[in-house]
Each structure stands twice: as structure tokens, then as C-alpha cells.
Structure 1
């Protein structure tokens, strides 16, 4: 194949994609059948099938059992606002992950003690298998599932203190900074990294998405000086959210 020339199935998928973008194939309309694609574009059944698979993988269409393939309605992305901690302002787990005050949010959570995996231990700078408190969250924005988060806190920092369980005790439902301050641990910096990967089936189910579609992962670690006191992975559907940072210029 000459350099720059696309395979036939990508050319067909690209033309159908453009029709979806331009509104010629609006949401909920039926995608041309495999036979129709074959005839219209002069391609084989295999090429027509592969073109449809491309559009499915991109989340533009979905199959309905016994009915055909239809154009999906594309969600309007929500904004996940990120900003540095502001002293004196009470933070909650939802506000910790979504700092846009215009968004009303709630959360569900569960915590348990466990041994840190090798990856988590490296992030917390503790030995593999070191005891941590793992807390899993499901965040809802305007009542709809928005984000999943799993956080790990080293029990050598929080163990046997009133803040050992993030969602229980006198500071239940407060953010990491406030909880750590209550045990004289001053959080003064945070590192975040953003990546993307295919979503796991259980993540898609919890967030109302499709297994295999891309998710955004915000990996965040809070530090007191050079000592990590909490690390977390925040997961959200890539086609439904945009991450927005507001950072001060010093």
C-alpha cells in the first residue's frame, strides 16, 4: 500500500464518521446496513463489517440486538475543575475531586484495611505490603454517576487516630488536608498525573458507560513535605468529561 493511502475500511469509516459529525446521520438514526455499505462504497462484506467495528470502537454507534446499528447520542462533556487547596475553605471528598462550586455532588464510600500493592507502596514510599486504609468512592454530579476514586492512606500516619477512617469519626466527609491537619500533619503540596486507558467492565457499569471505551485517570498524591500521606486514582469517562486546571501564577 502506498505511503499515506488508507485501508478501504478506514476510508469507509471516515466517510460515515463525517456524516455523523455533520448531522446527515443524526443521533438514534440507523446506520446503513452492511449490504448497503457494500453497495454504496463498492467494497466487500469484510470491509463493510470492519468499518462498522471502527465506528463502534469510537463510541459513535451502538448495536441493538435484532434491530441493527444506530448512531449514539454524544454526551455534552462536563468540566472537572482542578485547583490548588484554599486554606480556610471546608473541603469535602467531592469538592476535593471537583472544585467547580456550580456542580452539586454527593458520594458513596467504603473503607477497609489492606496490604499495599507494589505500585501503591511505591507511590506512598512505604514497603510493599505495608498497611494502608483503602477507600473507594462513587461520586455523583446532579444525581448522575460522574467519577470513581480509590484512595490509599498509610496507617503509619493515620492509624490509631480519629481520622483513620475517612468517612467516620469527628472529621467524616472532610478533605485530606483538613483531616491531616487534625493530627498535626501539614499537607503542603500535591502531584497529579493524567493518563488514559480502556475502561474496565466494572468501571463502565458503575459510570453508565460502555466497557472498553477510554477513561481518564487522575493519579494524585498529597504530601506533607516529602512524605506522601494519601494517594488516589480518580477515574471518569473520557467522552463525558474534560479536566480543567486553574493554577496561580507566582
Structure 2
């Protein structure tokens, strides 16, 4: 039997009891020691079982207080589609408007940052080539909903009014609109979604728990010649948002 089976069995039992309403939302659970005695296992087993339910979002730990049944959070849908890019402006702002929320963001850009090897590969440039990198914290009605780190080769934007994404005449207008203003036409966006767990830094910024599920999206924009002109790592907290992809279908 796999070593993790005992804590999974305890987690399954506790999950069923929570969903059955044995403890109300906001109620404090018995201690790990009490559960260890009840299930006839070691405290490390109940620790791992409860940690798993915290990661799943059923429980929350409060420092110095104990473990509580977590209030279910509203989970909304975030739609990613090509038509949002075509209509101009920020796709995030438009998406939040459709959800009945006000989308805003905070950002910090740095110029002439040497491209790390992984980013250079995604942008088809040499490692160490200068880029502008911008870190974003996206908000909906003032609450954090998404993080993003963007990289743009300075070979494309240096000396233009859009070299810093959130400054100048097209600040906040999105990559497609900004690049269009300097004659670079974006034709394709490629996104690679991957599941992940929140690090301490991500949890702090998003207001979630360490280990909460995330969706990490690696996005790269390509111009009409197939040249990558921007790449970004987007982080969405799964406990609050589900991501849906919308595709246009050509008629026969």
C-alpha cells in the first residue's frame, strides 16, 4: 500500500464529514491530536490530511487559533478569446466589464533587463538581449484576481513612445494596440495553460493560501511574419476563477 494512503483515507473521511455539514462554515475543527486519536493514526498523518483539505479550499488555518471550515468563495468565469484582442484596448478591462466588475491594475516596468535563457527562447532572441519586463497585479473591484510578468524585446520598441507599456500615449491599451501604433501587427496569440500551486509570494499578492491551486498561462504574441513580440506568464487563482477559451468557427 502506498505510504500516502493513510493520510488520504483520513482526508477523504474528513472531507465527507465537512460536506455532510458535521461542522458549519466558520466552525473550528478539533485539534490534529484529537483526530489522530479518533482515527488511530499519528499526528503527522492528520497534519497531512488537513493540509490537503486546506489546499483544496475546504479548510483554512488561522495562526495561533486553529483550523476552520472555510466559507466557499464565489468562482467566476474569465473568458479568453480572439475577439477581445481585436476590439482594441485592454482585454482584461473588457473581460471584467462583461462580468460587471471594474478592472484595474498596478504595474512596475524595468528597461534593459537581460533576457533569461527561457525567455530568450520564447522570444527567439539571444540570452542576455535587453528587454522591458513588466510585473502586473490585476484587480477586479479592487480585489486581486490575476498576476502577470511580461517581456518585450527592446529591439522592437526601443526609441518608440511605447517602450514602457504603462507610460506614454497608449498606456494601458494592451499589447496588440500598442504594437499596432509602431507598425507591428500581431496576428496570433499562443497560450499554454498549466496547473500549479501558489507559492508564498503569489499567495500574499492574491490573498489566497499557500498551496492553493493556480492556473499558470504561458502566452506569446506573434506578428504577421511569425516573430514573437511579447511573452508573459499569467497566474490565475483557481479558487476564484475558472478560465474558459472562446474560439470562432468558420462557416463552410
With normalisation by structure 2, the TM-score equals 0.88
2:119 aligns to what?
Answer: 120
The counterpart of 1:8, out of the listed 6, 9, 31, is 6
> Which stretch has the larger CA shift, 45-54 or 74-83?
45-54
Paired residues of 2:88 and 2:176 also in contact (CA < 8 A): no
The counterpart of 1:75, out of the listed 73, 76, 86, is 73
> Which stretch has the larger CA shift, 211-220 or 81-90?
81-90
Higher helix share: 2
User: Does the residue aligned with 2:88 lie in a helix, a strand or coil?
Assistant: coil
Unpaired runs of at least 5, structure 2? none
1:167 aligns to what?
Answer: 166
The total of aligned residue pairs comes to 248
1:26 aligns to what?
Answer: 24
2:242 aligns to what?
Answer: 242
Paired residues of 1:200 and 1:212 also in contact (CA < 8 A): yes
CA distance in 2, matches of 1:46, 1:154: 49
Deviation at 1:58, TM superposition (A): 3.1
User: Does the residue aligned with 1:188 lie in a helix, a strand or coil?
Assistant: strand
Paired residues of 1:221 and 1:231 also in contact (CA < 8 A): yes
CA distance in 1, matches of 2:95, 2:123: 19
User: Does the residue aligned with 1:148 lie in a helix, a strand or coil?
Assistant: strand
Deviation at 1:46, TM superposition (A): 4.4
The counterpart of 1:84, out of the listed 79, 82, 85, is 82
1:148 aligns with 2:144: no
CA distance in 1, matches of 2:148, 2:76: 17
1:107 aligns to what?
Answer: 105
Alpha-carbon distance change, 102 to 172 in structure 1, aligned in 2, over 3 angstroms: same
CA distance in 2, matches of 1:126, 1:172: 25
Instruction: After superposition, give the CA deviation of every residue in 1:174-213 in whole Å (9 maximum; x if it has no partner).
Output: 1111111111111111101111222222111111112232
CA distance in 2, matches of 1:86, 1:29: 43
CA distance in 2, matches of 1:179, 1:229: 11
Paired residues of 1:80 and 1:100 also in contact (CA < 8 A): no
CA distance in 1, matches of 2:149, 2:85: 24
- RMSD of aligned alpha carbons: 2.4
- Structure 1 residues 29-48: aligned runs within 5 Å: 29-48=27-46
> Which stretch has the larger CA shift, 84-93 or 237-246?
84-93
Paired residues of 2:93 and 2:104 also in contact (CA < 8 A): no
2:200 aligns to what?
Answer: 201
Alpha-carbon distance change, 47 to 136 in structure 1, aligned in 2, over 3 angstroms: closer
With normalisation by structure 1, the TM-score equals 0.89
Unpaired runs of at least 5, structure 1? none
Paired residues of 1:17 and 1:55 also in contact (CA < 8 A): yes
Deviation at 1:57, TM superposition (A): 3.7
